[in-house]
Amino acid sequence: MPEKTEKNLAYAFAGESKASVRNEAFAKKADSEGYTQVARLFRAISGAESVHARRYLLLMRGKIGSTEENIERAFQNEIKANVEEYPKLIKEASDEGKERVLKAFSQSRDVENRHAELYKKAMNDMLADRETDYYVCQVCGYVSEDEAPDHCPVCGAVKGKFKLVT
């Protein structure tokens, strides 16, 4: 595939991915303000943007491999975020005195480390044909195995803030 096309697919993928997440956030806000119809529209468009993003991802060369390759790539991405990306973001937020942003970046870094652990374990579970339930903290993104903890070990959120992944 020509380099320009590959670059354009990556650009479109990033834009559609962001639009999907942004519209989901807009839906939650609309719901909290009592605008259920508008929230439904935001969720529908979020879903559509996600369809676009997945389509572009599938068209990009080498982005999706075998499950084993995908787990390894995901593991490496989590390590990179934890070791290379978040330390810089955390330092800059700290230097600028942005405490809420610093907290968000720090918690995300901690969660990325947990994600790496889960990917490593998933490889072993896949080989042993074991199944695990996962619960995601809706505050910080921490992922718990088998059951939701009483309190999130990263942000302290209560058990009710965890969502079972189906």
Tokens 């593991």 found at: 75
Output the pLDDT for position 131: 84
Residue pLDDT, tens place only, 17-31: 999 999 999 999 999
Query: In the numeric block, which tokens belong to residue 17?
Result: 């991915």
User: 138-156: b or e for each residue (b if 16 or more CB lie within 10 Å)?
Assistant: eebbbebeeebeeebebbe
Residues 55-60: contacts with CB within 8 Å, 24+ apart? 56/9, 56/10, 56/12, 56/13, 56/16, 57/13, 59/9, 60/6, 60/9, 60/10, 60/13
Output the pLDDT for position 130: 80
Output the pLDDT for position 18: 98
Residue pLDDT, tens place only, 41-70: 999 999 999 999 999 999 998 889 899 999
Domain range annotation of the chain:
3-59, 65-130, 132-166
Instruction: Name the amino acid, one letter, at 116.
Output: A
Output the pLDDT for position 129: 79
- CATH tag for 3-59 (out of 1.20.1260.10, 1.10.3720.10, 3.90.1170.50, 2.60.40.10): 1.20.1260.10
Output the pLDDT for position 139: 94
55: Cα within 13 Å, side-chain hemisphere: 9
Query: In the numeric block, which tokens belong to residue 88?
Result: 């810089």
The fold for domain 132-166 equals Rubrerythrin, domain 2 (2.20.28)
Output the pLDDT for position 127: 79
Spell out, as residue ranges, where the chain has pLDDT lower than 50: none
Output the pLDDT for position 45: 93
